[in-house]
Structure 1
Amino acid sequence: MNFRIKKLITILSCTALFSFCAQATIVEFATSQGNIRVNLHDTTTPKTVENFLNYVNEGAYTDTIIHRLEPDFVVQGGGFKYENGFSHVAVESGPAVENEPELSNVRGTIAMAKVSGNPDSATNQWFFNINDNSANLDVRNGGFTVFGQVFSEDMDILEDMQALPRCLNNVGRTPMVNFTSEQCTSGDKPGYENFVTVYAINVLDSNEVTDGGLNKTPNTLIDQQPGSDNDSGGGGTAFWLLLLGAAGLLRKR
């Protein structure tokens, strides 16, 4: 079904069932490794939150996989579903959302992924910052929009994912469950159960703005222009390319 038609149906459904489809402030990622609650920054990044919730409300993230994990950097998802081994199906993406780089990419935040060289190119892919990535991600490509904050007690789930073996494929270094590094290179075909799966993203609180009392870290670096490869304060170009590689962020249809 055409994305615009689906979006219209979602809007009409939300109008009829406003209490369910309201602009939520707390959502829960139900994953195969455990549940991760996120408080969305409705008041600080309203366009990004609205864009994210459009995908949530239409079920676009149901049974998607975590397709990329870089230890001490990011856990990325929202873009692909399992089909056959590593032949993933891309989640249909809608129009890009305007960049809102108000907050810093510190540990425990969620931000939107986008295409290199285009600050306003975020659509459906997101990533969790599992380290303080502000030195790079707050300034590169117009700054990456942070739109939510993970509940501190749920960070262990993201931390534990880093211990999983990863298979390099056409969408990134993908964390695997009960699938060894040797199997990654031997040609073995993984099944659905071998991927870290986001079963659903559920709305927990849709009636009250709850982000007002959060300790948000502002992006104070956004007005600084990135300099040479070695002056970004934490890894330079090599570090940066972990997120901006075409396999990880280019939208496939």
Structure 2
Amino acid sequence: MLRRAALSCSLIFGLSALPLQAGPLVQMQTSAGNLEIELFDEQAPKTVANFLHYAQQGYYEGTIFHRVIPGFMIQGGGFTQAMQKKPTDAPIENESGNGLSNRAGTLSMARTNDPNSATTQFFINSVDNPRLDARGNQPGYAVFGRVIKGMDVVNEISNTPTTVRPPHRDVPQTPIVILAVKPIEAAAPDVPPQ
């Protein structure tokens, strides 16, 4: 209960005050460098389970960041380097009303105009994007994690030159490939000598 109260309080003031480990940790290895990501399984359980399911299946290996908009976000997780969309499982329920905000460094699920259409694609906010949050009865884009190491890589990807590959815009000229998404085992706590 105390952890939840502290977490709720920290959400009001932004993600920088979140506990060091609110959920599972994964490493996203990319051709531009590696990211360490903390997943918010308490606030977005279905979204995190969905993401981890695809990661464990090796789904993300070889997909690219196919949409990059400087000063906004980088999106990936659904297309091959040939810009072929990969098949997915059924969409998941939108969990955007979980109290988390689309702040710089957070991961959110990409979707269509249908709020419950997210499958594999995600984006990383390169700046604060509160306009993407849920408001009242209006669903937003579900935040389910944050980058805890590697924001320099996110910024590098965000500033990469893009082109048009019809019908897609904002596609990096040089593909930025996701090589793997793997769990990071939590370090065992230090035990003082007896």
Partner amino acid for 2:123?
F
Counterpart position of 1:122 = 118
Give per-residue Cα distances to partners, 1:131-181, cap 9 Å, x unaligned. 0001x1003761110000101x410111112332101222331122xxxxx
In structure 1, C-alpha distance between the alignment counterparts of 2:46 and 2:161, rounded to whole Å: 36
Query: How far does residue 81 in structure 1 lie from its aligned partner after superposition?
Result: 0.6
In structure 2, C-alpha distance between the alignment counterparts of 1:25 and 1:196, rounded to whole Å: 25
Q: Which secondary structure does the structure 1 equivalent of 2:65 belong to?
A: strand
- Please tell me the root mean square deviation across aligned C-alpha atoms, in Å: 1.8
Give deviations 1:185-231, integer Å, cap 9, x for gaps: xxxxxxxxx311111111113799xxxxxxxxxxxxxxxxxxxxxxx
Aligned-pair identity (%): 37
1:113 aligns to what?
110
Q: Which has the larger radius of gyration?
A: 1
- Structure 2 unaligned blocks of 5 or more: 1-22, 189-194
* Distance change (3 Å), C-alpha of 1:81 and 1:207: farther
Partner in structure 1 of residue 72 of structure 2: 73
Q: How many residues align?
A: 161
- Give the aligned partner of residue 90 of structure 2: 95
Give the alignment of 1:140-151 within 5 angstroms.
Answer: 142-151=139-148
Aligned counterpart, 1:138: 133
Q: Partner of 1:213 in structure 2?
A: none
Matches within 5 A, 1:4-15: none
Tell me the residue number matched to 2:183. Answer: 203
- Distance, in Å, in 2 between the alignment partners of 1:43 and 1:162 is 29
Aligned twin of 1:28: 27
In the TM superposition, structure 1's runs of 4+ consecutive aligned residues that sit over 4 Å from their partners are none
Q: Secondary structure at the match of 2:78?
A: strand
Q: Which has the higher helix share?
A: 1
Question: What is the TM-score when the length of structure 1 is the normalising length?
Answer: 0.60
- One-letter amino acid of the counterpart of residue 68, structure 2: L
Give the partner amino acid of 1:56: A
Residues 200/34 of structure 1: CA separation in 2 closer, same or farther (3 Å cut): same
Could you state the TM-score of these two structures normalised by the residue count of structure 2? 0.78
Q: Which runs of structure 2 are paired with 1:145-224 in the superposition (5 Å)?
A: 145-151=142-148, 153-169=149-165, 170-176=167-173, 194-205=174-185
Aligned partners of 2:48, 2:152: CA distance in 1, in Å? 24
Runs of 5+ unmatched residues, structure 1: 1-23, 177-193, 209-253
Letter of the 1:72 partner, please give it.
Answer: G
Q: Is the 8 A contact 2:73 2:158 kept in 1?
A: no
